[in-house]
Chain A
Amino acid sequence: METLFHASPFTGYVYPNETIIPWTVLIVVYPYLTGLVAGAFTISSLYQVFGFTQLRPVAHFALLISLCCMLTVPLPLLLHLGHPERAFNAMITPHTTSAFAIFGYAAAFYICLLLLETWFVFRPHIVRQSQKLGGFMGWAYRILSLGSNDVSDRAMGYDRKWLFALAIIGIPGAHGLHGYVGFVFGSLKSREWWSSDLMPVIFLLSAIISGTAFVIVLYVLSCKLRKVAIDLSCLKVMAFSLWGFMMFTLLLEGVEFASLVYRGREGIDVIMEFVKGPLVIPFFILQFGIGSALPLAVITFMIWRGTSGTALILGITGCSILVLLAVLMMRYNVVIGGQEISKTARGLLAYHPPIFGREGLLAAGIVLLIPMILLTVLVRLFPPWERAEA
């Protein structure tokens, strides 16, 4: 018989019902994915709205990455729900006082926006393919063109206006969506570890760094697979953005933690016990040390030394992989860590995620792979580098 729940061992005193951790690794994956969405969209918008022309080689690719991640965002939530078939209850009878009730609308709006922006970006390609290809693919592209086959300069000028407007709306949209995820945690007064006004801002900044790092890694990988040269100036701009946003994130995380300790409210003893014990490896070593301080130092070193060529590519890609790990650990330490500190402020729980099952590590891993699978398909249908390299 399948185990219905996984009880967590504890030390000290925890409320009896707390031994089953309510939010599991799937709820770690959920903010991670929304973060990637916001970060990748930022990169795309820096080109689309603010005219960072160095980012042109990755602008459309970043948009596709953002779309693929966004399409996957509802999946971990649906997998986590006790009754996923009732998920629409939150949309048909939204309880307006709940921060969660907005999710369905916000996500639906943002998916529509991303789809629309993607359509405008790739419309010339869609039109070309619909005219060039026959058979099923030609038919599919003809449907995707939505009967809009005009690619004259006038029409393209009109498209550019739309793209600009969509990217402008998309910036608060993407960042709002992720800031809101931070709010879901930060606004809960029942958990001292989450209850912080800085939580949405930290979530947002870490989202930007994870999204940027994700675009860097996938861009380098795609160039290697396509056997084309990597645009170093593009890579450098992304690395600089990464560096800047990491600085802010680290500072804010430091300020938040310092405030928590300095305030020293009831329960600080058990929080310090948690920080000095179970949190040493996931937080101090993985998230802070290897995932944040090391890449920050390496990028600083490379900027200082003016590193270029293969060393720069290797350095930045390696750092980006570490940053991706750091942000994943940050999500884990927030979501799971918050639940490992008992609401009694007198005990600690130890959550050991199961490997198999609906809420296991395997399921979470598969959810994280889905955007990449989607991306592999989408870059074939809508090559994001075609225009950039033309």
Chain B
Amino acid sequence: MDENQRSEPHDKERRDFLSCLGSAIACGAAAVAANAVASPATAATQAAAASSEIPAIPGYDWSKHQWGFGVDAEKCIGCLRCVEACKKENNVSLDPHHFRTWVERYVTLENEDKALIDSQADPVNIAASPVPGEYRFANRYKDANVEKAFFVPKLCNHCTNPACVQVCPTGATYKTADGVVVIDHTYCIGCQYCVQACPYGARFFNEEKNVTDKCTWCYHRITKGLQPACVEVCPVGARVFGDRNDKQSPISQFIQNNRVRVLKPETGNAPNVFYVGIDKDVI
């Protein structure tokens, strides 16, 4: 399943550009040495062919939606079903170094100022996990005097001003009209500048495709009226998703009825994942 589907307006723009470019290359071909244009011409042809293969999403108009995501950390129980479901749904490598979503555990011990933080990818937790692709939080604090503990699910924040989109040299990663940041895997050159630019560590390099990868809020699902896989499987409703254009949607209600906050607001990225129930230690 290709989760990084592109939508029509963007494709049209690119197709128009590529068609102009194709004409320009054809006109200039007599004057320019064949080798010099071989690579761009090939890339252009590949991209044009790839874009023509992707069908329009039936019955979906991206200008009518504005997706948003909420996390209620008060509810999260750290079962990690979301992480497992995401890996399966999006064909994410099962090793503990590639995650589109993950869960952090914050534990404050008695007489300690700062919380101890780990995620399911911590070697101790990986050792406690049964098989690759299934994750558990090890009971590592059972003998400690725990003052406070909670879980925080993390994922791409699909920022309004995404630093990753700003730095992408080719425009392979872009923000859709419905508010989702996606990556065109057929156009990404794999420079990983976006991985560096993301302050949340949400992006990773997909070594099988040699391109950058990240959460798309399951764009292939939400455009068909489904929920993202992580939201679908969450047994406690800690993850909330919906259309912010619809004032009655779960996410609109979540934002209206809670005092929400976002992660690292000082970056100016203006994230679109809204949190409830997180503490000062959450990073």
Contacts and interface: CB of A to CB of B under 8 A. Distances in A.
Q: Do A and B come from one complex?
A: yes
Contacts of B171: 93, 95
A23 interface: yes
Interface stretch (A84-92, A128-136, A289-297, A377-385): A84-92
A343 B200 contact: yes
A22 B192 contact: yes
Interface in A53-102: 77, 80-95, 97-101
B132 interface: no
B191 A89 contact: no
Interface string A9-31: 00011111111101100000000
A167 B168 CA distance: 32
Interface string B194-238: 011111111111011111100000000000000000000000000
A83 B204 CA distance: 15
Contact of A5 (B43, B207, B267): B207
A16 B205 contact: no
Interface in A103-155: 103
Contacts of A84: 189
Given A16-B97, A17-B99, A86-B187, A92 B40 contact: yes
Contact of A83 (B120, B190, B195): B190
A18 B201 contact: yes
Given A23-B192, A189-B163, A345-B283, A85 B97 contact: no
B169 interface: yes
Interface residues of B, number: 58
Given A81-B189, A82-B210, A91-B40, A188 B168 contact: no
A85 B190 CA distance: 11
Interface in B21-43: 21, 39-40, 42-43
Interface string A313-343: 0000000000000000000000000010001
A100 B43 contact: no
B34 to A, nearest CB: 15
Given A83-B211, A100-B167, A344 B201 contact: yes
B43 A17 contact: no
Given A19-B121, A23-B192, A188-B196, A98 B166 contact: yes
Given A83-B190, A344-B117, A89 B97 contact: no
Given A13-B116, A13-B117, A94-B169, 14 more contacts: A4-B208, A5-B207, A15-B201, A16-B96, A77-B191, A82-B192, A82-B205, A83-B190, A86-B189, A89-B43, A95-B169, A97-B166, A100-B167, A346-B283
Interface of A: 4-5, 7, 12-20, 22-23, 77, 80-95, 97-101, 103, 184, 188-191, 339, 343-346
17 contacts: A5-B205, A13-B104, A15-B200, A16-B201, A17-B99, A82-B190, A83-B189, A86-B187, A89-B169, A90-B170, A94-B170, A100-B193, A188-B167, A189-B268, A344-B117, A346-B117, A346-B283
